[in-house]
């Protein structure tokens, strides 16, 4: 009798875990972004707005101490080249999410993404 109760409890727990994992996977997969716009600031002023939904592109931005080459690849944006000494902005890679800016303190350049999720669900 006791082993039957333990077995039923285990089946219930495993079923709940599988259901929870399935819900998380579905929410994560359906979390597609649309209408993402990258705002590029120099000294806290927007100098360029770039749509990440378009074609891949590369352009230059004049910072306070030099020029940065910025690239849009696969709906993500990043600093490809910079004249700053440590190249931290280049090492940050490419971003495609609204919660992670790229900052080049040497050139006082900041890249932030704005946009809304299609299903308005964030995990």
Residue 50 near residue 86 (C-beta atoms within 8 A): no
Looking at the fold, whether 10 and 69 belong to one and the same domain comes out as no
The tens-digit pLDDT sequence of the chain (123 residues) is: 678 788 888 999 999 999 999 998 887 766 555 678 999 999 999 999 999 888 899 999 999 999 999 999 988 999 999 999 999 999 999 998 888 899 999 999 999 998 755 444 444
Residue 50 lies in a domain: yes
Mark whether 24 and 44 lie in a shared domain: no
Domain residues for the domain of 44 are 35-115
Q: What is the DSSP string of 89-106?
A: HHHT-EE-STT--EEETT
Give dist(CA 109, CA 43) in Å, integer.
7
Number of domains in the chain: 2
- Regarding whether 69 and 48 lie in a shared domain, the answer is yes
In a domain, 122, yes or no: no
27 with 40, same domain: the answer is no
Is the pTM higher than 0.85?
Answer: no
Whole-Å CA distances, 106 to 2, 81, 96, 117 = 69, 13, 23, 32
């Amino acid at each position: 009798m006791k082993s039957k109760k333990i077995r039923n409890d285990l089946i219930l727990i495993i079923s709940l875990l599988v259901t929870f994992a399935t819900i998380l996977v579905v929410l994560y997969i359906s979390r597609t972004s649309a209408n993402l716009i990258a705002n590029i600031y120099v000294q806290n002023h927007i100098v360029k707005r770039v749509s990440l939904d378009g074609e891949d592109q590369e352009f230059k931005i004049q910072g306070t101490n030099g020029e940065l080459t910025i690239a849009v690849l696969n709906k993500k944006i990043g600093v490809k080249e910079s004249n700053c000494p440590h190249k931290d902005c280049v090492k940050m890679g490419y971003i495609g999410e609204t919660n992670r800016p790229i900052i080049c303190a040497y050139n006082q350049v900041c890249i932030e993404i704005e946009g809304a999720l299609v299903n308005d669900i964030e995990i």
